[in-house]
Amino acid sequence: MRREVPLAITAIVGFALIIVYFIPHPPFNHSRDFFEDLFFIIAAFAIWLGCLNLLKVNADKVYLKKKGWPFSIVVWFGFFLMVIVGFWEGRGFMNPGTTFYYLYDKLYYPLNATMFSILAFFVASASYRAFRARNKEATILLIAALFVMLGRVPFGYYLSSWLPEGWRLGNITDWIMDFPQTAAQRAIMIGIALGIVSSSLRVLLGLERTFASGE
Amino acid sequence: MNFLEKLLALDRRIIFLFIAIAVALPLFFTVKLHIEVTPVVRNLHNAMEALPPGSKVLVSLDYDPGSMPELQPMAESFFRYCFMRDLKIIIIGLWPNGPIQANSALEVILNEPDIKKKNPKYGIDYVNLGYTAGNEVVIERMGSDIPVTFPKDYSGNKTEDLPLMKGVKNFNNIDFVYNLSAGYPGTVEWVLFGVDPYKIKLGAGNTAVQAPQIYPYLNSGQLVGLLGGMKGGAEFEIATGKPAKAVKFMFSQSVSHALICFFILIGNFAYFATRKKKGA
């Protein structure tokens, strides 16, 4: 029963959602709304679960003195600081002029942006080391990357403005993006979609059971 | 170790230093650059130009401060354009940070002299409905009932009591949807769960790294236009006749792209020169 009940719920809900997607008329659309409202409730609980999990993982790190445990104290401090300030300010706590907004704007905002901007340095370093024309495929990739990188910035225009219209870096970049790139993306998307359909069917038909057994 | 071998084993901190200079230094200069508006951006602008004043535009900000350098200028130029054209803005976020990013952009735009003259009012000209957890299911639910999906705005006012939201039941009452996306959930989900079932008119702004993934939707007509990365943002600013942050930042991006290309070229030159030498 511990296995069959979750499998039955999955199959019933899964097929019901497929039916309501393809028949968006009464009474099916009402059941879709019902399922979606249930999903919102689960999603809201998932946020709580995520917060509690974050606190637990970091508490364990501090308790066991694992590598980098002082950062976990910063996580706890930051978490409770934002929660307390948010609750203290009540309605409209995210409005400009509030303490929460100030903390977000002056602390979280630059910290988060800095983390992401570090990527630029690693990308540059990795490009220098790894982007080598070692074989035919790598050479094609390298040339396309150079065209796109220069063609996507005004610098590319100045480099190639002497060429006839259609042969400038910007035009070549547009062509690469519109045709070879889009073709490859389509192939990937179709492959992923077919994979999702087949694995979803396996779950709904009960052929794939690992999600219910924890194996 | 000769010069070429030294070049191949270049300390990455030297590359970091060059990149830091290439990114930061141009920010202190104002250089007028030639920026051509590409068809994908022109199409988005044309679709928005076709909207009559008073049209309701839904803006979904699905990103966090990590993607702010690319997407925040797009949000600001979009809000500026909407206020100038008297388009009504309904803001939501599928990411928790989205609505506060919108506030940040609005704070800048509402203080611009041209917009101040228009004096847009909260609840009448724009609303911020906040964030609802549920990713693509939020889009699905909005298709049947927007006030149920967002019962209160982010300040706690009842959505149905906001003058702008009177008569807005679902996507049938929305004239245009604009999505700023940095990942999941984002533009792909808006196409799959908004455009296909509800036939919404969708335009998008994406980070440069995500934009290629969106191109198939442009060619199929599911997306009216796309702003890809900071360049897309700069093109939109040029198209609207109001060059702003993205245009200014393009100089920095130009120099850093050129520098990375230069590094790649000298890296390859050193690689082939040393290989030839070893072969000989």
Could you tell me the pLDDT band of residue B280, with boundaries at 50, 70 and 90?
Answer: low
- On the CB side of A190, CA atoms within 13 Å amount to 7
* Subunit contact A177:B104, Cβ cutoff 8 A: no
B146 and B195, same structural domain? yes
Report which secondary-structure segment, H or E, holds A57: helix A28-63
pLDDT digits (tens, 9 = 90+) for B125-172: 999 999 999 999 999 999 989 999 999 998 889 999 999 999 999 999
pLDDT digits (tens, 9 = 90+) for A94-121: 888 899 999 999 999 999 989 888 988 9
> Could you tell me which residues come within 8 angstroms of residue B67 by beta carbon, excluding any fewer than 6 positions away?
A116, B182, B207
- A66 & A140 share domain: no
- B115 and B207 part of one domain: yes
Assess if residue A101 is contained within a domain. no
| Whole-complex ipTM | 0.88
- pLDDT tens digits for range B7-18: 888 888 999 999
Q: What integer pLDDT is reported at residue B279 of this predicted model? A: 65
d(CA B48, nearest CA chain A) in Å: 23
Where among A15, A46, A70 does a domain terminate?
Answer: A70
pLDDT-derived band at B80 (thresholds 50, 70, 90) equals very high
- Among A20-34, A44-58, B54-68, B136-150, which stretch is predicted with the lowest mean pLDDT? A20-34
Task: Please report which confidence band the pLDDT of residue A24 belongs to, taking 50, 70 and 90 as the band edges.
Answer: confident
pLDDT-derived band at B1, boundaries 50, 70, 90: low
> What's the confidence (pLDDT) of residue A92?
84
pLDDT digits (tens, 9 = 90+) for A46-101: 999 999 999 999 999 999 999 999 999 999 999 999 999 999 998 888 888 899 99
Residue B184: give its domain's CATH number: 3.40.50
Do residue B25 and residue B51 come from a single domain?
A: no
Residues B19 and B110 in one domain: no
Give chain B's mean pLDDT. 93
Query: CA–CA separation, B171 vs B194, rounded Å?
Result: 8
Residues B52 and B83 in one domain: yes
Q: Between chains, do B68 and A109 touch, taking CB under 8 Å as contact?
A: yes
Q: Is the pLDDT of residue A215 over 60?
A: no
In order, the DSSP letters of A117-131 are HHHHHHHHHHHHHH-
> Which domain does B222 fall in, by range?
35-243
- Does B58 lie in the same domain as B171? yes
pLDDT of residue B202: 98
Residues B22 and B146 in one domain: no
The answer to whether residues B8 and B90 belong to one domain is no
B112 lies in the same domain as B80:
yes
> What local confidence, expressed as pLDDT, does residue A213 receive?
67
B38 vs A26, which has greater pLDDT? B38
A214 band by pLDDT with thresholds 50, 70 and 90: low
Please give the Cα distance from B174 to B129 (Å, whole number).
Answer: 14
Contact B23 A152 (CB under 8 A): no
Clarify whether residues B83 and B219 are in a common domain.
yes
Hey, of A101, A152, A176, A181, which one would you mutate to test binding to chain B, going by the most B CBs within 10 A of its CB?
A152
Tell whether A28 lies on the interface with B, counting CB pairs under 8 A. Answer: no
Residue A2 resides in a domain: yes
Residue B16 Cα, gap to closest chain A Cα (Å): 5
- The answer to whether residues B76 and B109 belong to one domain is yes
Contact between B274 and B5 under an 8 Å Cβ cutoff? The reply is yes
In a domain, A174, yes or no: yes
Q: What is the pLDDT of residue A75?
A: 95
Last residue of a domain, one of A27, A53, A70: A70
Asked if A139 has any chain B CB less than 8 Å from its own CB, the reply is no
pLDDT band of residue B49 (cuts 50, 70, 90) is very high
- Model confidence pLDDT, tens digit, residues B244-275: 999 999 999 999 999 999 999 999 998 888 88
Global confidence as pTM: 0.92
Query: Does residue A129 form part of some domain?
Result: no
Q: Does residue A90 lie in a domain region? A: no
Q: Total domain count for chain B?
A: 2
Q: Are residues B132 and B215 in the same domain?
A: yes
Q: How many domains does chain A have?
A: 2
Domain that holds residue A156: 135-215
Per-residue model confidence as pLDDT tens digits over A108-154: 999 998 988 898 899 889 988 888 888 999 999 999 999 999 998 99
Q: Which two tokens stand for residue B196?
A: 């296909």
